[in-house]
Structure 1
């Protein structure tokens, strides 16, 4: 089947990353390659996105023509990792993300330990960004390997989280069980005068069956017993913080990134914003969608959870405003997509051609995106050519 060359389309390609596999830019380029091979006359616009998780720093920094900086920090399991932060507007705005310093991708699946993984590296990344004296610090949540309520960040910023003997508590969610007292003043002083804006990709509370430990703990290596332990420890942390007149547990998004969402909002005074909305606004996606004939978005998995703050939902909702159809591509496709369709997603397709091991799917992801995009272009032009 050949494409109809008489019908030229303006196609906006606006994907997220495929976690632990391809960056958003790589996903966008793979889709563009496949589409261009099948429909070379179409006008393609690639706009890599993120929802507050992995890739947020790069997406925002490049969109604002800023500079990326690299620094060595402590990874979630204590090993050194290279992490990036961005500076834009001549250093007035700094951009960091939890995934860079404390992300799941920093730890092999076999080595993940939800009880001991610490967010201290994210705190070190924040300190590096603060050296430039920004007026605003944008922080992306999501993709974390930790469930420590942001305790590691507080410790890196100078807060004193002590056990009954007056010693610093150990890192990780496990260490919160030993917490007896906390002095938050040094961390608050570090951020004095800085406007902290946090891009959050989930609405989960800190505690309970929909909380940080229960929902996200298993993917970070926690078994059912450890989930209960982590939830209990986060509750203990929240009660001690509450004694100082602060709330880290009662609002949507407080469970984001293993409880970091609750900490940054409740203790550090951050403004929590839906991550995808912040990113779409920064990269001026709406101006591209207003002129588009078709939009393609993508994420590693598109399922029922994607309707709640994830990139496909954000793109679909914004495109619906202009009556532009949106097609989603994913490595893994869920069955319950009704809410996404109501938001504006026209259709979604899996790029995986046959059952395969996860590592094989990772390896073939770029090729599978390219192939699927090419077939999709042929279908779209075949249908549009008959109208």
Structure 2
């Protein structure tokens, strides 16, 4: 008598970005997990082995994604916002893994200090807004023993070339008379010397990685001032002042360090924040999604996956330019299907498949207003994930000859 082996449970990795305005990445992952486990139960299948790996692209939500991956609680410290007002900011640090060879990693979102929403109650002043508070958080990470700092810099209100940040770490930006420059990017044209003699003693000992999701240069028509300055309150005259100041900063930096930051892609991000960190601290500018994928060990999590579910709010051409979905595709083995679930899908089937995905599905169940999609995002994500399981796991339960000794329906956080 021939017996058919029970099918092994599907190995499903769930690695979404946040759905901005509705669901953080961790909540989106939980909703998708509920969808696939519920669908498997209804079909009488072995409970799938689910691994949760919420992701981010280096912008909003990155701190929470990494804290979840590290099983760490957020810490807080005092700092100042872009207008110089005192506030409390969150940051994170991983636990030391004895014998594992992994560094103690610290993560900070610059927007916790210099974020545009934090100064929305004031008239925007692009010329004086400072990144000093970001440096205060970084200094706290150094004091806490971080050996690697992951700096996520989206959503800034500043265009000071990172001078405020480095000032908080002990550097001095001096004019021809040896006096410190005023805060912000408006006075950079008067810079003559950058004194780093009193930098934080650990500032050059740690590895700095700066997460960006743009490749804009520091100056010029695609530079920090021209592209991002207006949204921070810069008038056309302000943009000209800021751009000239950043160009002058680059010349002074090059004269002192030999590094031409004008040639480094991505230094225009967040008002030029990387411009002084690259030459003085050896900081690396990297795509945010790649940084997060590395920090959470995404490649290892995907290694034996049968199915990978990813997603975000809007799946469009920008999703394939260094965002989370692209990072998932790049880290997934060729043997498993990658499926995107999003609030809206704006790519054709050919574009989706050319990008390395099996399919992309919208959570909309018909014509729906944006408010409906946002308000019902969790339930809609759950239902869409169940539909995907029905397609990709639907033949399970009929006996596929595969065996596995492990049944685990609980998500692996």
| TM-score, normalised with respect to structure 2 | 0.76
* Deviation at residue 179 of structure 1 after TM alignment: 4.1
- SS class of match (1:88): coil
TM-score, normalization: structure 1? 0.81
Residue 44 of structure 2 is matched in structure 1 by none
Find out whether 1:157 has 2:164 as its counterpart: no
Is contact 1:253-1:262 (8 Å) kept? Answer: no
Structure 2 segments unaligned to the other structure (5+ residues): 1-6, 42-46, 98-102, 401-413
Alignment size in residue pairs: 381
The 3 A distance-change label for structure 1 pair 224 and 296 is farther
How has the CA–CA distance of structure 1 residues 36 and 125 changed in structure 2, closer, same or farther, with 3 Å as cutoff? same
SS of 1:243's equivalent? helix
Higher mean C-alpha displacement, 9-18 vs 171-180: 171-180
- Residue 85 of structure 1 is matched in structure 2 by 92
2:218 paired residue number: 206
Deviates more, 1:273-282 or 1:173-182: 173-182
What is the correspondence of 1:23-42 to structure 2 with a 5 Å cutoff?
23-40=24-41, 41-42=47-48
How far apart in 2 are the matches of 1:289 and 1:97?
Answer: 26
Corresponding residue for 1:43? 49
Structure number with greater CO (CA < 8 Å, separation at least 6) is 2
State the shift of 1:114 in Å.
Answer: 4.8
Distance 1:64 1:208, change over 3 A: same
**Aligned mates of 1:107, 1:339 — CA distance in 2:** 40
**More deviation in 45-54 or 222-231?**
222-231
Is residue 75–residue 91 contact of structure 2 (8 Å, CA) maintained in 1?
Answer: yes
Task: Note the alpha carbon deviations across 1:186-219, whole angstroms, 9 max, x for none.
Answer: 3375513233333444333222333334444455
- Secondary structure (helix, strand or coil) at the match of 1:26 reads helix
Structure 1 residue 292: Cα displacement = 1.7
Cα distance in 1 between the residues matched to 2:385 and 2:233 = 34
Query: Looking at CA atoms only, which structure, 1 or 2, has the larger radius of gyration?
Result: 2
- Aligned residue in 1 for 2:18: 17
Structure 1 residues 379, 134: CA separation in 2 closer, same or farther (over 3 Å shift)? closer
CA 1:47–1:182: 2 relative to 1, 3 Å: same
User: Compared with structure 1, are the counterparts of its residues 329 and 100 closer, same or farther at alpha carbon in structure 2 (3 Å cutoff)?
Assistant: farther
Contact 1:307–1:339 (CA<8 Å) still a contact in 2?
no
What is the Cα-based RMSD across aligned positions, in Å? 3.7
What does residue 81 of structure 2 align with?
Answer: 75
Specify the alignment match of 1:269 in structure 2.
282
Name the SS of the counterpart of 2:194 in structure 1.
strand
Residue in structure 1 matched with residue 138 of structure 2 by the alignment: 126
Deviations 1:104-138 (A, max 9, x none): 55455997665544322210101111112333333
In structure 1, stretches of 5+ residues that fail to align are: 1-5
Q: For 1:70-112, what per-residue CA distance to the aligned partner results, in whole angstroms no more than 9, with x for missing partners?
A: 1132223444242223143168443333243333554559976
